Amino acid sequence: MKTKYKTHFAKDVKAELNGSIVTLAGWVHIKRDLGGKKFLILRDKTGTIQLILTKGKTPQQVIETYSKLTRESVIRVKGIAKASEKAPGGVEVEPLEIEVLSLAKTPLPIDVIGKVHADIDTRLNNRVLDLRRRESQAIFRIQDTVLQAIREKLRELGFVEVLTPKIIASATEGGAQLLGPAFRAEESDTPYHLSEFISVDIEAAFMNYFDVMNVLEEVVEHVLRRVREKNLEDLKILNYEEEFPKIRI
């Protein structure tokens, strides 16, 4: 989607755009300075793309801006897409302009790339950075697919979605206390205890136990099929082997 700040996402820059001007916006993921050539991996919500700066070719102002960049700084880049067999994905961008939208402070409290392990307390205390990790984003994409698939199947079966009221004891600013997920603070001695879940309930007339179970199986089968179709790469990021249970339909 083209916006004021960008013309392409990282995943949309293909070798077929060789020679075209593109504008990207995202975060500084990795920097590598090899002297005559400098590399920058730019990350946005769709993935990463490599920028290459060459001494004597790249504008000096761009090189000076590059030298000041810190990891996780937010930038906008205007450059020329170049097909290259050596570049990740077969394409890279030669920047003509780099605009710094927000310069990140260093050192970062956690490693977004994930090479340096951080414990759960550190991650939660720096959640805004933790959510930039590939693993965190993969979880959100899978969850989005699951919720979409549940709605698809239930509507296909004739159900109507109803948003039930959430009643609280006092006023709240902006509805921040009206949580969608449910949390259980029960004590448990097992790591399998489900402390957080999103509840999706159905109400249906003229059904018995077996009818309800058939609806449940159809929904689960549809969800798993959609995840297989849309999120295999996300499952790989989470080191999940593709083993889906067989559903009796």
Q: 93-148, pLDDT tens digit by residue?
A: 999 999 999 999 999 999 998 788 889 899 999 999 999 999 999 999 999 999 99
**Looking at the structure, do residues 84 and 140 belong to the same domain, yes or no?**
no
Same domain, yes or no: 142 and 46? no
Residue 95 lies in a domain: yes
The DSSP-derived string for the chain is ---SS-S--GGG--GGGTT-EEEEEEEEEEEEE-SSEEEEEEEETTEEEEEEEETTTS-HHHHHHHHH--TT-EEEEEEEEEE-TTSGGGEEEEEEEEEEEEPPPSS-SS-TTSSS---HHHHHHTHHHHTTSHHHHHHHHHHHHHHHHHHHHHHHTT----------SS--STTTT--SSEE-----SSTT---EE-------SS--HHHHHHHHHHHHHHHHHHHHHH-HHHHHHTT----------
pTM, full prediction: 0.83
Residue 174 confidence (pLDDT) above 60:
no
Domain of 14, in residue numbers? 10-102
Q: What average pLDDT does the segment 156-168 reach?
A: 86
Which CATH number belongs to the domain containing residue 86 in this structure? 2.40.50.140
Q: Provide the pLDDT for residue 149.
A: 97
The lowest-confidence range among 98-102, 114-118, 169-173, 210-214 is 169-173
Q: Are residues 85 and 140 in the same domain?
A: no
Q: Give yes or no for residue 229 having a pLDDT over 80.
A: yes
In this structure, the answer to whether residues 146 and 68 fall within a common structural domain is no
Residue 108 falls inside a structural domain: no
Is 21 among the domain residues?
yes
Give the confidence band of 176 by pLDDT, cuts at 50, 70, 90.
low
In a domain, 153, yes or no: yes
Name the domain count of the chain: 2
**Bigger pLDDT: 69 or 171?**
69
Task: Answer yes or no: do 188 and 229 share one domain.
Answer: yes
* Residues 21 and 92 grouped into a single domain: yes
In a domain, 171, yes or no: no
> pLDDT value at position 249?
55
Same domain, yes or no, for 71 and 155? no
Query: Are 76 and 149 in a shared domain?
Result: no
- Please give the pLDDT value at position 177: 58
Is the separation of the CB atoms in 49 and 8 below 8 Å?
no
Whole-angstrom CA distances from 187 to 156, 191, 198, 235 are 39, 11, 20, 30
State the CB neighbour count (10 A cutoff) for residue 50.
Answer: 22
Residues 221 and 137 in one domain: yes
Residue 19, domain member (yes or no): yes
In a domain? residue 246? no
Does any domain span residue 174?
Answer: no
Rounded to the nearest integer, the mean pLDDT of the chain is 90
Averaged pLDDT for residues 62-86:
97
